[in-house]
Amino acid sequence: MTTATTELTGLTAGTWDIDPAHSEVGFTVRHLGLSKVRGRFNAFSGTVTIADDQTASSVAASIDLSSVDTNNKMRDGHLKSADFLNAEDSPTMTFVSTGVTETALSGDLTIRGITKPVTLDLSYNGVAVDGYEATRAGFNASGQILRSDFGIAFNAPLGIDGMLVSDKVAIELEIQATRQA
């Protein structure tokens, strides 16, 4: 995951599986313009395919929308409803990369059947071998989307910024992937 002129230390070509036990797919949104509400998705999977030319690498991920967790069951139920994620009719969110550089991950994000391009800031944290001799790589990615771009328009005129829930959603990914044998 780099530019053509730089090689990332220890990152070898092949398929790397995202390890959900050591990764996090999180988000943050402003409520009433006063505070941030943080959440995460507890069920997701994906692969990072590193090419010999690391600029030709790719990422594909699938997130189970019914696994949304904001530490409030009533709010989680509302987020799963047709007002927000519509998890019953569109149970997964997907991401398929279209480009990778040393500092950015671009791709197509699909929520509620609507696909939009997104670009995330990307950083590579290195490679380590764990106590079970599995080779692991770490990445961080972050960015922002507008939920309205994906047909999520529920809101109410309230609060400091004029809305109950901000349209802007910050995405925060902490990814650890294991090299397939």
The confidence score (pLDDT) of residue 10 equals 78
In a domain, 4, yes or no: no
- CATH (domain of 121): 2.40.128.110
Pairing between β-strand 58-64 and β-strand 92-100 as defined by DSSP bridges: antiparallel
Three-class SS state of 102: coil
Question: Looking at the predicted structure, is the pLDDT value of residue 1 above 50?
Answer: no
Domain count, the chain: 1
The confidence score (pLDDT) of residue 7 equals 52
Q: Convert 124-145 to b/e letters by CB count within 10 Å (16 or more is b).
A: beebeeeeeeebbbbbebbbeb
- Residues 178 and 169 sit within 8 Å (Cβ to Cβ): no
- 115 - beta bridge partners? 110
pLDDT in tens, 62-119: 999 999 999 999 999 999 999 999 999 999 999 999 999 989 999 999 999 999 999 9
The confidence score (pLDDT) of residue 163 equals 64
pLDDT in tens, 124-153: 999 999 998 899 999 999 999 999 999 998
In a domain, 169, yes or no: yes
CA distance 32 to 121: 27
In a domain, 7, yes or no: no
The confidence score (pLDDT) of residue 160 equals 58
In this structure, what are the phi and psi dihedrals at residue 6, rounded to the nearest 5 degrees?
Answer: -125, 140
In a domain, 1, yes or no: no
Three-class SS state of 72: coil
- Between 115 and 10, where is the model more confident? 115
pLDDT in tens, 160-175: 556 678 889 999 999 9
Which are the contacts of 108, defined by CB distance < 8 A and separation ≥ 6? 95, 96, 98, 115, 116, 117, 118
In a domain, 154, yes or no: yes
Three-class SS state of 173: strand
Question: Looking at the predicted structure, is the pLDDT value of residue 6 above 50?
Answer: no
CA distance 2 to 103: 7
In a domain, 141, yes or no: yes
For the whole model, what pTM was predicted?
0.89
Mean pLDDT score of the chain: 90
In a domain, 5, yes or no: no
Letter for the amino acid at 157?
Answer: P
Range of the domain at 50: 14-174
Which are the contacts of 179, defined by CB distance < 8 A and separation ≥ 6? 12, 14, 15, 16, 134, 135, 136, 137
The confidence score (pLDDT) of residue 5 equals 33
The confidence score (pLDDT) of residue 141 equals 97
The confidence score (pLDDT) of residue 159 equals 52
The confidence score (pLDDT) of residue 165 equals 81
Q: Convert 34-64 to b/e letters by CB count within 10 Å (16 or more is b).
A: eeebebbbeebebebbbeeebeebbbebbbb
In a domain, 165, yes or no: yes
- Residues 150 and 95 sit within 8 Å (Cβ to Cβ): no
Question: Looking at the predicted structure, is the pLDDT value of residue 3 above 60?
Answer: no
